[in-house]
């Protein structure tokens, strides 16, 4: 098990509220860090680098005030940077992160040794998110502090690997912090991730349905109303395979199972025959993430839209219950004679 010292000192639960495009903002991050988990957001959730810096200032000011008022240390926060030629803001946003000494940088797409070096130089940490073993190996070689194993069923651009397979392969070459991502929605899931050999849980979908997330009310409610069968994995929407809520695909006039446009004539014909009233012809202006909503297969465990602090208390309770149960199970088997002797 490997956790950075700054995490060990401040976390109440080994959880990162993961960065989500158009969903995570300062309010969610501040409340997460106050309650003792790592709060994060993508730099690109602000349209400009200036806007991004203003969010950093807002977060740092609020957390400093919290620490002065309570005498307690807030958990560290993190920023997600897309390290790829398609992101023209990378250099400017990285400079801002350096100026504000952002405690955790979560890199996506590219694990570049130079970025890692620049973050380490001011004392920051770099976690890199990966969906394949090859990318995990490359990131480990780039000297990242943590790997985020994005497994099958995760919200956003999910991987296809089973978590048991992925965690066990990564652990054969990486001793740094290992964060498990994909369908983790409860405190029991957090405990399970640790038993599997991960150090922390990365939770996205569960945090969309919180009061402080920037998702619209209908999106939050759709998650509460959905289960794993309502999630479609398709590359039709953003060009890269990702998980989307089928009801939001239908509402956009897309085939809920494939994400492909529905044939307008078929839709009209079916409606005339009173078949498939829920179908809509393809809609102008429906766009990925904004009105076609992403979520992971863990939606079935989301039944409420609490505020972040309530959610973290609930996760903590569930986590403790699961670890106590696990200790009982392990006591039951610990002294059993095994093997032939
Ligand atoms: C709506 C949505 C937007 C996301 N946007 C990003 C993003 O901008 N950057 C990123 O690194 N990951 C992004 N992700 C992936 C999450 O950070 C995380 O890997 C994933 O949600 C974990 O799986 P879970 O949703 O099953 O908990 C997004 C996920 C969702 C659901």
Note the pLDDT tens digit of each residue in 93-143: 999 999 999 999 999 998 889 999 999 999 999 999 999 999 999 999 999
DSSP state of 38: E
Cα of 13 vs its chain's centroid, Å: 15
For residue 309, which phi and psi values (nearest 5 degrees)?
-65, -40
pLDDT value of residue 281: 58
User: What is the fold of 5-210+308-334?
Assistant: TIM Barrel (3.20.20)
pLDDT surpasses 80 at 9: yes
Residue 150 tokens, joined: 């994005």
> pLDDT digits over 279-316, tens only?
565 566 678 888 999 999 999 999 999 999 999 999 99
Q: Cα–Cα distance between 232 and 194 in angstroms, integer?
A: 28
Q: Which helix (H) or strand (E) holds 31?
A: helix 26-34
Q: Whose CA is nearest to atom 13 of ligand 1?
A: 20
Nearest atom, ligand 1, residue 215 CA: 1
Comparing CA positions, the residue from 80, 139, 150 lying closest to residue 112 is: 139
DSSP state of 281: P
Comparing CA positions, the residue from 96, 86, 82, 84 lying closest to residue 124 is: 96
> pLDDT digits over 222-274, tens only?
999 999 999 999 999 989 999 999 999 999 999 999 999 877 666 666 667 66
Q: Whose CA is nearest to atom 29 of ligand 1?
A: 156
DSSP labels, 236-263: TTTSS-EEEEHHHHHHTTB-TTT-PBPP
Residues flanking ligand 1, CB < 6 Å: 18-21, 23, 42, 80, 108, 129, 150, 154-156, 181-184, 202-205, 294-296, 298
Q: Whose CA is nearest to atom 31 of ligand 1?
A: 155
Locate CATH 3.20.20.70 in the chain: 5-210+308-334
Nearest atom, ligand 1, residue 243 CA: 31
Q: Whose CA is nearest to atom 30 of ligand 1?
A: 156
């Amino acid at each position: 098990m490997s956790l950075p010292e700054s995490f060990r000192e401040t976390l109440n639960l080994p959880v990162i509220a993961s960065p989500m495009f158009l969903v995570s903002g300062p309010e969610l991050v501040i409340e997460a860090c106050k309650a003792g988990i790592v709060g994060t957001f993508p730099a690109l959730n602000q349209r400009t680098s200036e806007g991004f810096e203003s969010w950093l200032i807002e977060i740092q000011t609020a957390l400093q005030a919290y620490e002065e008022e309570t005498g307690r240390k807030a958990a560290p926060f993190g920023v997600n940077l897309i390290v790829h030629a398609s992101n023209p803001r990378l250099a400017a946003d990285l400079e801002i992160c350096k100026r504000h000494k952002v405690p955790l940088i979560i890199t996506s797409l590219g694990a570049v040794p130079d970025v890692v070096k620049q973050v380490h130089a001011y004392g920051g940490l770099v976690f890199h998110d990966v969906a394949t073993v090859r990318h995990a190996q490359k990131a480990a070689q780039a000297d990242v502090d943590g790997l985020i194993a994005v497994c099958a069923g995760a919200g956003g651009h999910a991987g296809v690997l089973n978590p048991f397979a992925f965690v066990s392969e990564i652990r054969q070459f990486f001793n740094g912090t290992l964060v498990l991502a994909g369908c983790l929605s409860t405190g029991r899931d957090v405990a399970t991730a640790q038993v599997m050999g991960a150090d922390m849980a990365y939770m996205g979908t569960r945090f969309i349905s919180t009061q402080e997330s920037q998702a619209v009310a209908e999106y939050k409610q759709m998650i509460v109303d959905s289960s794993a069968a309502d999630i479609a994995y398709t590359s039709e929407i953003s060009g890269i395979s990702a998980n989307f809520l089928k009801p939001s695909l239908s509402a956009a006039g897309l085939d809920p199972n494939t994400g492909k446009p529905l044939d307008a004539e078929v839709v009209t014909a079916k409606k005339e025959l009173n078949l498939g009233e829920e179908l809509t012809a393809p809609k102008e202006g429906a766009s990925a993430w904004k009105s076609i909503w992403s979520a992971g297969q863990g939606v079935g465990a989301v039944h409420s839209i609490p505020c972040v602090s309530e959610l973290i208390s609930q996760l903590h309770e569930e986590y403790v219950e699961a670890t106590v149960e696990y200790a009982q199970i392990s006591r039951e088997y610990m002294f059993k004679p095994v093997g032939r002797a």
